[in-house]
Every structure is written in structure tokens, then in C-alpha cells.
Structure 1
Amino acid sequence: MDFVCGGLAASGACLFSNPFDVLKTRMQLQGELQAKGQHTVHYRNPFHAGYVVAKNEGIRGLQKGLGVAMVLHGVRNCVRLGIYQTLENKGFLRDSTGKTVLYKSALGSAFAGATGAFFGSPLFLIKTQLQSQAARQIAVGTQHGHNSAIHAIKTIYIQNGITGLWRGVNGTMLRALVGSSAQLTTFAISKDKLKEIEYLKKSPLLISLVASIFSGFIQTIMINPFDVVSTRLYNQGVDANGKGLLYTGVVDCFAKIFKSEGVAGIYKGVIANYMRLAPHSLFCLLFWDILKDLKVRYITSSPKRTLLVENR
């Protein structure tokens, strides 16, 4: 049930965050491996980017890849949040007083995030390529020309086999390791601290809300460099052997971005990324807490169900 709660929470959050994911992806690909001032700037900031996308592709352009994104976040977070909650239920993440232990939470959430990223990697690959597809006059990065998520899966599989669907998995696992650790650890510790405030003790929903906003901010700062690299690895074109045309891997991608675009390159789209992660983190963690609470109420409402859980 913990795995289902995590998946449903993330899928629901995706409805609100996907437009910012589209904008973030476009901004991270803009000026790829080009110095500032040497490329056309289609997207000046998240607000301008939203206007440009809506103008050239319609409102539906802001929700590109929504279907596959919802499945992706459902799969990844079913695994990620399910594993994390299981570790918490087993008492591995807290001390004898019930407080979250920083290093244990960081390690547990990192493992959970990397595992979820591995299983969701093919969907992340397809989502990125669908979101990067734009009207010709505002296109950035490699344009793959997929008609749909199913078409993308078939095309990639036919051209590069099953390994082609897991291309760039190292980048997304590293991204998830950092992002998940930052998000879940700061969320758990923030909640512990907020529960000590007398005014908030009787407002668990408000505690979750404040903690999720803070965790989203920390997550964005930590994850953005790895997010840029993951986006570039997923979206680059490949040769007949499935090898990347621009980057050979994570280290090569970081090195080339630094050389061509400077430090600013790894923080491209950071504001759009926060505008994506903040609502996604907020709604995902909020929905997660609500669903877990409903699960507990359902179990405790029946003596038989409570006894069954205790016997486990």
C-alpha cells in the first residue's frame, strides 16, 4: 500500500508541474554547447518561455508529454517513496526518540531515488524528447520527431534495442540520488522541527505544506546541475550504434558544458526548475501524507485489519 500511495501522489502532482517541466527542458537545451551571446535566445525567462510556447504551439504545448510524465512519476515514486516509507516503518531512519537521523535518511532516500530512477529511465528519456519537440521557429536541441510516446518507444527500440531505452540511465540515477536525498531528508527533518512549534502541533497539513515548500527549494539548488546533464544526455542524437553524438557520458557532459557555457550552463533553467519542483514537491509530498493518513485510518477503523497489520 505504501508503494501505491507514493505512485498516486506523484502522478497527481504531475498535473500541476508538467508545464514548468516543459519550459525547464527547453531552457536547459537552449544554447547547447554555445557561449552566451552566440546563439538565438528564444526563451528569456520562465514567464517569457510560457508566452512563447503558448503563442507558437497553443496551450496544449505547455502540457507536452503529460501522459508519459504521469506514468513516469507514478512508476518512479511508487518505487522511491515506497522504499523510503518501508525503511521508515522498519525503524531504520529514526533514533530511539523517533526523530529523523540525517545521515540515515540521506542514505535511505538516495538509494530509494536511484532505484526509482532506474526503473523509470525509459519513460524519462521519452518524456524529455517529447517535451523538447517544438515549433520550428522556437526549436532548441535535437528534434526527434516522435508522434507519440508509443511511437517513441517503437522507434528507439527498433533503432537501438532494449539498451537504447535505458540510454542515459547513469545520469538520471545520479540526478535522483542527489535530488531524492535532498528532498526527502529536508522534508522529514523540517517536519520534526515544525512539530515542536506549539502553534503547529494541531495542524499536520500545514506542517506538511511548509516542509514541502522548503524541501523543494533545497532540492532545486542541489539537483539542477545534474538535471541539466540528464536532459542533455537524454535529448542528444545518437549514431547507428546508439552512441551519443555530443556526449559520451555524465563526466564528458559536465566537462563540455563547463568549457562551452561556463558555470551558468549547469544552472540553466533553474528558476523554471524551481517553479516545477516547488508545486510538484508540494503536491506530491502533501498528497503522500494525506494518502498515508487515509491508509492508517482505514486500517485502524477495523479491529481485524489492525490485528492483521500487527501480526505482520
Structure 2
Amino acid sequence: MAPQDGGFLKTAKDLTAGTAGGIAQVLVGQPFDIVKVRMQTAPKGTYTGMLHCAGGILKNEGPLAFYKGTVSPLLGIGVCVSIQFGVLEYTKRFFAERNIKNGIGGADGLALGPGQLVAAGVAAGVANGFASGPVEHIRIRLQIQSTGNKIYSGPLDAIKKIYSSHGIAGIYKGQAVTFLREAMGYGVYFLTYEKLVQREMRMKGIKREQISPVNSVLYGAAAGYALWAVIYPVDMIKSRMQTDGFSPTTGQKYKSTLDCVRVVWRTEGIGAFTRGLGPTLIRSPFANGATFLGFELASRLMS
């Protein structure tokens, strides 16, 4: 049975609040993300570390390069995070109603168990994957372009050229590993955040909207670290797949996701699976804290 409480209006509010969280995430995290992607996809030995990579971008491409490809994620990630929170909150309400019927979870049925929170997060991640796959693919293609070697003039040009040459499969390149990353990551991500929120509500005897914005940021930061602890090697493979050639005649290195794992392991060793982790760990608390803060504040404004 679909959740009845709130109906369409409730879902619309969740989607809008999710969009606010997504925009906040992109604005805060984009400079760190481009450094991560460059380090993940560059040949071994290109950069000695995060500062070397960031310094090279600043010196050779200027400060605005740190926001290269931002239009695509600003629009796309807003949609992606909107989908995440829309599906998450819908699924949470579904489980809450079931808990009420079964007489568990308290009077309001909102004390969801870990398994329910993980399931809601996995559902949110898979739903998000349909949008995040092509959005991140286009963003990464733009991020790895150097100033003197531009193939695409912008996101629309990239979509047009990739689609005309490789069809919808080209747009969704790396989609299998994207679904794996989203399902694994968001199951842990939302479990961590929601359990921290539940803990504070239980200990202080308060409602969700009474949690301070500072704690929303801190819980979001913790959730972000939990997410990346689980998915970083998968994310690296996704980046490799999405920057690989589309066919053997256009520089394709990997036949499949598993082939990518084997080739990277054999030629670059285990260290390649954590390359670029530094900027990710620095970015994570700011970007994910901003995401949840944006969502919670927007939700409160619309309540």
C-alpha cells in the first residue's frame, strides 16, 4: 500500500527540499571534485599528490577551472539529490505506516529499524542512478579536458556529440558500476544520518525540526564519510569507465567493469583504488553537511 500521509504535496516538498540540498552540495564541493577526478583518471605518476594536482590546475587553467563543468552538475545534481530525498522520504513513510499497523516503532511509527533505513537508502540510490549516471558522465568528460585540448564546448555540446556517435548507450556509459555505487553508498549514507538524528531526538526528547542546523551539518558530514568509506574504490572504477574511449578505435582501454578492475589492479596496484581520496575526504564534510543542511532548512521553510 502506498503511503497516504502527505500524498502528492508531501512528495513535492521533499523533491523541492532535495533540490536545495543538491545545489548546496555542488556549490560547496565542485572544486574538490575536479581534483579528485583528475587524480583518479590521470596516468600513474602524473601527480605527486592533491596539492600538486590543484596547483597545476590553478597555474595552467586559472581559478575558474575548479568550476569547470559546473552547469551540468548544478542542474543535474539538483535533480539527482531531489530524486534521492523524494524516494527516501516516500519509502520511509511506507515503512512507518507498516510499523504502525504492526504496532512497532512508537506511536508515530517513525522509529525505523536499520534494515528499513538501508532499504530506503538503496531504493533512493538506485532511483538516483538513472539520473546521476549521465550527469556525472558528462561532468567528468568536461572536467578532464585541458584548456588547449577541448573536445566539448559545454554540457549540451558533449551530449550532442556523444549521442550522435554512440547513441543512448554512450550517454549511459559506466551505468552498471554507477548503480552499484549508488545502491551501496546511499544505503550506508542515509542509515548513518537517520540513526544520528534518531539518537538525538530520543536522547533530548525533541522533534526532528528542533535539531539545530549545526548538528544537521555534523550528521551530514559523518554520513558523507561513511559513504566514501564504502564506495571509494567503486567510484574510482566508475570514473575510469566514464573517461574511457567508446570503442577500440577511439582509445577504449577496458572491455567491461570487471576488466577495468583487473587491468587497474595488474598495471597500477592497489594504490590506484584510493588515488584522489585526499580531496574527497576534505570535500566530504563540507559538501554533505551542506546537502543535509539545505534539505532540512528547506523542509522546515515549507512546513
Bin for the TM-score computed over the shorter chain: 0.7 to 0.9
Contact 1:175 1:227 in 2 (8 A): yes
Aligned pair count reads 281
The C-alpha deviation readout for 1:122-151, integer Å capped at 9, x for no partner, is 221110110111246xxxxxx772111111
2:230 paired residue number? 222
Instruction: Work out whether 1:103 is the aligned partner of 2:107.
Output: no
2:142 to 123, 130, 141: 130
Unaligned 5+ residue runs, structure 2? 1-11
Please give the TM-score of this superposition, normalised by the length of structure 1: 0.83
Contact 1:200 1:207 in 2 (8 A): no
The C-alpha deviation readout for 1:174-216, integer Å capped at 9, x for no partner, is 1111121121110101111233444998643233122111111
Q: CA deviation at 1:275?
A: 2.2
The C-alpha deviation readout for 1:199-241, integer Å capped at 9, x for no partner, is 9986432331221111111111111111101100100112279
Contact 2:73 2:139 in 1 (8 A): yes
2:158 to 112, 135, 152: 152
Of 113-122 and 227-236, deviating more is 113-122
1:161 to 157, 167, 178: 167
1:114 to 110, 113, 126: 126
The C-alpha deviation readout for 1:265-286, integer Å capped at 9, x for no partner, is 1111111112233222110111
Please give the TM-score of this superposition, normalised by the length of structure 2: 0.85
Q: Distance in 1 between matches of 2:118 and 2:244?
A: 31
2:6 paired residue number? none
Contact 1:121 1:169 in 2 (8 A): yes
Q: Distance in 1 between matches of 2:77 and 2:30?
A: 11
Q: What SS does the corresponding residue of 1:90 show, helix, strand or coil? A: helix
CA change 1:252–1:128 in 2 (3 A) is same
Unaligned 5+ residue runs, structure 1? 32-38, 137-142, 297-312
2:262 to 238, 255, 263: 255
Of 6-15 and 148-157, deviating more is 6-15
Contact 1:10 1:280 in 2 (8 A): no
Q: CA RMSD in A?
A: 2.3
The C-alpha deviation readout for 1:233-262, integer Å capped at 9, x for no partner, is 1001122799x8111222221222221222
Q: What SS does the corresponding residue of 1:292 show, helix, strand or coil? A: helix
- In structure 2, give the amino acid aligned to 1:274: L
Instruction: Work out whether 1:174 is the aligned partner of 2:180.
Output: yes
Q: Distance in 2 between matches of 1:283 and 1:80?
A: 15
Instruction: Work out whether 1:30 is the aligned partner of 2:42.
Output: yes
